[in-house]
């Protein structure tokens, strides 16, 4: 294995030489902390205020896990996660609440991993201090993945509760790179689903949800239907999604959980989601439209606008309306299914047809 960390060779993200030297000196003085901070997007004045309550309950629940939550790093083992809410002064007129996750690194273990990394890199041009920095960034990247797993779980326990701007990964207070945030689109989904009153979206405890997800989650290729569904769910958070991407990934997750045959996929989703989540009284047409929209788009039968189009007319508005309705319903069904499985403590859905006389 030959790996060169981006901390040293990605100059867009890399601290300058003085910062690197200072960081290395602090490491040698046995001071090492890795933290990730996300500015919290406040609920805006035009959004429904029930979202404030959901956000407050989510943050209270998550902050109660401070030092109680353990993340598992492959070579570093389990480590207690410090979770805090901090206030940052943006300018004279604006303050920002930040959600902060951090771990402290045992320097003896770090030294062992650095030695292994040095042998793997096998490059005489890289000195001991640089090898330590490469090792730290490897740990930071892995920690960032675990933090994303924690954040994803909050959106199952409290759907639409958090909007987070892109975060900063810091080593001993020095920023080394940015990391993903959480799109506020799930808030829009929560508001839309509240209006049609199906599927039922609840608030569950974070700990119950986290323990359930830990039962199958791993940072690797999936090897089961529930892993495929969860991995699909993780693609719904990005701010920079392409057209229909949320719809496609949500339906991939739903098909993984609900479909047992390649024939009649739309019918299987329509019938079986109502068996698990309850009968849809109103807006039934939306369920079929959701799948028809996706199928027509993928098979080239749906008109849509170009990538940077600025056109805004009745046709584009109608397309956008149907797209958002389909995306929001598919996302909500996927989350509601996860919630139902958490409460039943199950990891798969099995359906069978029974003929009665």
- Residues 84-94 have pLDDT tens digits of 999 887 676 67
* Separation of alpha carbons 169 and 144, rounded Å: 8
- If you search the block for the tokens 């609900």, which residue do you land on? 258
- For residue 72, is the peptide bond before it cis, meaning its omega torsion is within 30 degrees of 0? no
Beta-sheet strands, E only, within the chain: 33-39, 70-73, 77-80, 82-91, 94-104, 167-171, 174-179
Q: Averaged over 145-151, what is the pLDDT?
A: 94
First to last CA, the chain: 64
Q: Name the average pLDDT for the chain.
A: 86
Average pLDDT estimate for 162-190? 91
Q: Can you give the pLDDT at residue 14?
A: 46
Q: What is the pLDDT of residue 6?
A: 32
Please tell me the chain's helix, strand, coil percentages from 3-state DSSP, rounded to the nearest 5: 50, 15, 35
What does the pLDDT look like over 192-234, one tens digit per residue? 999 999 999 999 999 999 999 999 987 789 999 999 999 999 9
Q: Report the C-alpha gap between 254 and 271 in whole angstroms.
A: 12
Residue 108 has a pLDDT of: 72
Q: Give CA–CA dist 110/52, Å, rounded.
A: 41
**Distance, CA of 307 to CA of 324 (rounded, Å):** 17
Q: What is the pLDDT of residue 1?
A: 31
Look at residue 29 and tell me whether its pLDDT is greater than 60: no
Task: Give the pLDDT band (50/70/90) at residue 2.
Answer: very low
Residues belonging to the chain: 357
Q: Which two tokens stand for residue 287?
A: 């369920």
pLDDT of residue 25: 53
Angstrom CA distances, 125 to 130, 131, 186, 236, stand at 10, 10, 47, 41
Predicted confidence (pLDDT) per residue in 283-319, tens digit: 888 888 999 999 999 999 999 988 888 888 899 999 9
Identify the pLDDT of residue 117. 66
- The pLDDT tens digits for 66-81 are 999 988 887 777 889 9
Residue 17 has pLDDT above 60, yes or no: no
CA distance 176 to 152: 23
């Amino acid at each position: 294995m030959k790996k060169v960390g981006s901390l040293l060779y990605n100059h867009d993200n890399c601290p300058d030489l003085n910062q690197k030297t200072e960081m290395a000196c602090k490491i040698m003085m046995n001071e090492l902390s890795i933290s990730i901070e996300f500015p919290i997007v406040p609920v805006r004045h035009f959004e429904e205020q029930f979202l404030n309550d959901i956000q407050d309950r989510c943050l209270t629940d998550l902050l109660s896990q401070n030092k109680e939550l353990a993340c598992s790093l492959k070579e570093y083992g389990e480590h207690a996660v410090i979770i805090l809410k901090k206030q940052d002064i943006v300018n004279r007129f604006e303050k920002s609440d930040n959600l902060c996750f951090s771990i402290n690194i045992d320097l003896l273990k770090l030294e062992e991993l650095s030695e292994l990394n040095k042998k793997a890199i096998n490059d005489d041009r890289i000195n001991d201090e640089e090898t330590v920095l490469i090792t730290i960034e490897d740990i930071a990247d892995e920690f960032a993945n675990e933090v994303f797993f924690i954040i994803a779980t909050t959106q199952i326990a409290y759907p639409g509760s958090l909007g987070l701007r892109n975060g900063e990964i810091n080593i001993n207070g020095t920023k080394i790179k940015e990391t993903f945030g959480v799109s506020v689109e799930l808030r829009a989904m929560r508001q839309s689903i509240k209006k049609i009153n199906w599927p039922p979206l609840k608030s569950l405890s974070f700990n119950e949800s986290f323990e359930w997800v830990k039962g199958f989650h791993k940072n690797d290729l999936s090897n089961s239907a529930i892993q495929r569904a969860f991995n699909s769910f993780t693609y719904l958070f990005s701010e920079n999604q392409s057209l229909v991407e949320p719809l496609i990934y949500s339906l991939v997750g739903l098909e993984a959980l609900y479909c047992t045959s390649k024939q009649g996929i739309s019918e299987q989703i329509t019938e079986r989601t109502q068996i698990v989540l309850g009968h849809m009284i109103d807006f039934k047409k939306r369920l079929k439209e959701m799948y028809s929209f996706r199928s027509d788009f993928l098979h080239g039968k749906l008109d849509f606008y170009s990538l940077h189009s600025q056109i805004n007319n009745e046709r584009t508005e109608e397309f956008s309306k149907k797209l958002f309705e389909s995306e929001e319903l598919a996302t909500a069904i996927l989350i509601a299914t996860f919630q139902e499985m958490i409460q039943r403590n199950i990891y798969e859905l099995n359906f069978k047809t029974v003929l009665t006389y």
